[in-house]
Amino acid sequence: MNLDMRRIWIVIALLTVASAARSTPEDAPAVLIDRLVAVVDEDPIFLSDIRRAVGLGLVETVPGESDQMLERRVLDALIDERLRLHEVERHDFGTLPPEEIDRQVELIRANFADEGELRQSLDRLGLDDDGLRLLVARQLRVLVYVQKRLGPRVFISPEDIGTYYDDVLVPEMTRRGLEAPALEAVRAQIRDVLQEERLNEQIDVWTRELRLEADIADYLQRAETELPPVVERIEE
């Protein structure tokens, strides 16, 4: 999405609010539909984006976590995702394989008991099949970029594997009262673990750099008088 399109989305949101305000009877009850909670380089993030991420099981819930803490954590993740997506959009990685999008959509479906429950959740979140695939495709584009641009920076040496085996795996197996397997039997698995850890470190560094260069307005926990307009539904 280019900057002009982001501006258009913001204008549409504000015009919708203004129109609702003009048509609202003074004594009519209003129900919150959506709210602008952040803007990342003129790309808006709405409260509904947070609800969709939670409702589709795209984020893990933490026991004992309050709704406010969950919203804060999810919004931070969405801001980072937008920053990375904007960077990816500056590069052309071609078309994503439809079968890979299908596979990821099926993983989301697996979070629900049946198709009916999924449909109810999609309706509640204001999504259809195309909207769901679009969300998945955006995430996959970032993953492709990460693998191509950041993956080559990760190098795992034999010494790294040996150190992990001696300092992490063996002590953990001993703590559990289990016998540690031979190093050669788990070398490949250890390499995969270390690659994922170090790739995540590279992603964190990259994302922090993007945050430093970005224009981010965060409204989630601002005082009520500082918040941007809300979109409301008027009860008949």
pLDDT value at residue 222: 67
Give 129 or 12, the one with higher predicted confidence.
Answer: 129
Mean pLDDT of the chain: 80
How far apart (Å, rounded) are the C-alpha atoms in residues 83 and 65? 26
- What is the β-pairing status of strands 43-46 and 216-218? unpaired
Whether pLDDT at 53 is above 50: yes
Buried residues in 96-119 as b, exposed as e (16+ CB within 10 A):
beeeebeebbeebeeebeeeeebe
In tens, the pLDDT along 129-158 reads 888 888 888 888 888 888 888 888 899 999
Percentage of the chain with pLDDT > 70? 78
Tell me the pTM: 0.68
pLDDT band at 122 (very low <50, low <70, confident <90, very high): confident
Percentage of the chain with pLDDT > 90? 39
3 state SS of 220: coil
pLDDT value at residue 13: 43
Indicate the class that CATH gives domain 3-153+215-234. Answer: mainly alpha
In tens, the pLDDT along 87-118 reads 888 876 667 778 888 888 888 888 888 888 88
Range 54-74 average pLDDT: 87
pLDDT value at residue 174: 94
3 state SS of 212: helix
| Residue 177, Ramachandran bin (φ over 0: left; ψ between -120 and 50: alpha; else beta) | left
Q: Which segment, 18-22, 114-118, 225-229, is predicted with the most confidence on average?
A: 114-118
How far apart (Å, rounded) are the C-alpha atoms in residues 172 and 142? 34
Instruction: Give the distance from CA 200 to its chain's centroid.
Output: 14
Q: What residue type is 7 in one-letter code?
A: R
Whether pLDDT at 12 is above 50: no
Whether pLDDT at 85 is above 70: yes
Query: In degrees rounded to 5, what are phi and psi of residue 133?
Result: -65, -35
pLDDT band at 125 (very low <50, low <70, confident <90, very high): confident
pLDDT value at residue 217: 92
Tokens of residue 179, six digits: 């016998």
In tens, the pLDDT along 162-192 reads 999 999 999 999 999 999 999 999 999 999 9
